[in-house]
Structure 1
Amino acid sequence: MNAEDALRGVLFDKDGTLFEYHGTWAPILAEAAEVAARGQAALVPEMLEAIGYDTSCHRIRPGSIAGGGDTFGLVDAWLTIAGGWERAALIAEMDGLFVRLAPERSLPVTELPPFFAGLKDRGFVLGIATNDVEASARASLTRFGIDGFVDFSAGYDRGYGQKPGPGMALAFCAATGLAPHQIAVVGDNTHDLEMGRSAGAGLNIGVLTGTSGHDDLAPFADHVIESIVALPALLDGLTR
């Protein structure tokens, strides 16, 4: 592999990739539904089912709004069930709740500072692309001590569009001076891998710490690994 073709950047999804998805987001979304229902507790199970939260087992279905969507999709689903909100007001209410709760309650899949430091030591430029709100992403990076390792971050509201569109991956490339074929995209959802493919990423890697199984990810991924813990060894093997 010559220098121009070598992988030089890694763009991570956040939830389900750096943080365990079900344990982090199932309780947050349940609380969010209660807020959006405005005291109409009987509506909450229907609201959760509408976004792909399986209330029978407290798991989030792959490919659902809850599993990979953004606040716009969540709010639009809930407004069909729970009235009494202006769309913009409910978006602001939900994003505010996510900014407050996600950094506090996120469950990292590994010790993130040494993991990111190891990738930096290997010479990689690092980024985060999430369908969460940008302020929540930045607060989570600070909370877990990895903001100093991250060269780029974008949420759904940053202006680059939402996954599965290519905007956040292309913005990472533009911000860091890398060509798309020089980056790897790592995510737990087909939305992440579709973003990478549509942007022309050199490598798309699925992880199994989110809502998707191996069979969900394999058609879109060059590699599927158990978690980001296996990523350094994979990258080392590919770049030798």
Structure 2
Amino acid sequence: MNIRGVIFDKDGTLFDFQSTWGIWTAQILARIAGSDGVLLGQLARSLGYDTKTRRVQPGSVIVAGTPMQIAAVIHDHIPGMGQSQICGWLNGEAETAPQVLVTDLHRLTAELRRIDLGLCVMTNDAEGPARAHLASVQALDLFDFVMGSDSGFGAKPQAAPLLALADKMDIPAAACVMVGDSTHDLRAGRAAGMRTVAVLTGLAEAAELTPLADAVLPDVSHLPAWISAQNR
């Protein structure tokens, strides 16, 4: 079956992960801990963040976790603030996180539209920040649908949000490809019966992604050529 729809992850796939979330996490930790160096160190360790290099570490909840899951980790260290309150604050802060694109999304999506593909974004980020991030680089209107972990269909690695997007595009799941940088993305795609493409612009190594991927690409700019080859 030819590929007719593409579902993209956002962070580490469309946007460079460390350039965005490495800097954002440093700002968040500073605001929470203030001058309390001990609390700062505890939060950094729990979140999987290296304060010296200002980089998120592989396996961190920040990589593929939902905002509520990140809030749960922070709540363990500041129990006086409710988890839902922390989550709401994180989402507000996330909307203004700096965004660094992996490639020119206008060019990429134009190439994919030329081969008549539906295009969506599914992120474990909240939908509001996801829309804000895409809008900040004038890319929100390039996609048919944008879904977050709070959009009512669950989060990756569950199949449900991907199946919901396929349904919204009116394209069979088997004619869709899930493109992402983490095992959560690829497991969700496999569970949904979609083809899966891994990109190496996140934190996971090729060896970790290869068993779950139909293809491993350096970045999303290589996707149009791969899809065209599959559909020939």
C-alpha displacement of 1:62: 2.7
Instruction: Give the secondary-structure state (helix, strand or coil) at the position aligned to 1:131.
Output: coil
Instruction: Give the secondary-structure state (helix, strand or coil) at the position aligned to 1:26.
Output: helix
TM-score, length of structure 2 as denominator length: 0.95
Which position in structure 1 is the counterpart of 2:7?
11
Q: How many residues align?
A: 232
C-alpha displacement of 1:41: 4.1
Gaps of 5+ in 2: none
**Per-residue CA distance 1:174-233 (angstroms, 9 max, x = gap):** 1111111010000000000011011111x1000000111101111111111100011111
Matched, 1:158 2:147: no
C-alpha displacement of 1:7: 0.7
Which position in structure 2 is the counterpart of 1:27?
23
Q: Does structure 2 retain, via aligned residues, the 8 Å contact 1:187–1:193?
A: yes
Residue type at the aligned position of 1:116: T
Which position in structure 2 is the counterpart of 1:85?
81
Instruction: Give the secondary-structure state (helix, strand or coil) at the position aligned to 2:119.
Output: strand
Instruction: Give the secondary-structure state (helix, strand or coil) at the position aligned to 1:126.
Output: strand
Matched, 1:67 2:26: no
Matched, 1:171 2:171: no
Instruction: Give the secondary-structure state (helix, strand or coil) at the position aligned to 1:219.
Output: helix
Equivalence map 1:16-165=2 (5 Å): 16-37=12-33, 40-99=36-95, 101-102=96-97, 105-165=98-158
Residue type at the aligned position of 1:88: S
Matched, 1:205 2:197: yes
> What is the Cα-based RMSD across aligned positions, in Å?
1.4
C-alpha displacement of 1:56: 4.2
Which position in structure 1 is the counterpart of 2:209?
217
Instruction: Give the secondary-structure state (helix, strand or coil) at the position aligned to 1:204.
Output: strand
Whole-angstrom distance in 2 between the partners of 1:117 and 1:143: 19
Q: Does structure 1 retain, via aligned residues, the 8 Å contact 2:2–2:230?
A: no
Gaps of 5+ in 1: none
Instruction: Give the secondary-structure state (helix, strand or coil) at the position aligned to 1:94.
Output: helix
Whole-angstrom distance in 2 between the partners of 1:75 and 1:39: 21
Which position in structure 2 is the counterpart of 1:238?
230
Identity, % of aligned positions:
33
**Per-residue CA distance 1:3-42 (angstroms, 9 max, x = gap):** xx21100000000000000111111012122233365343
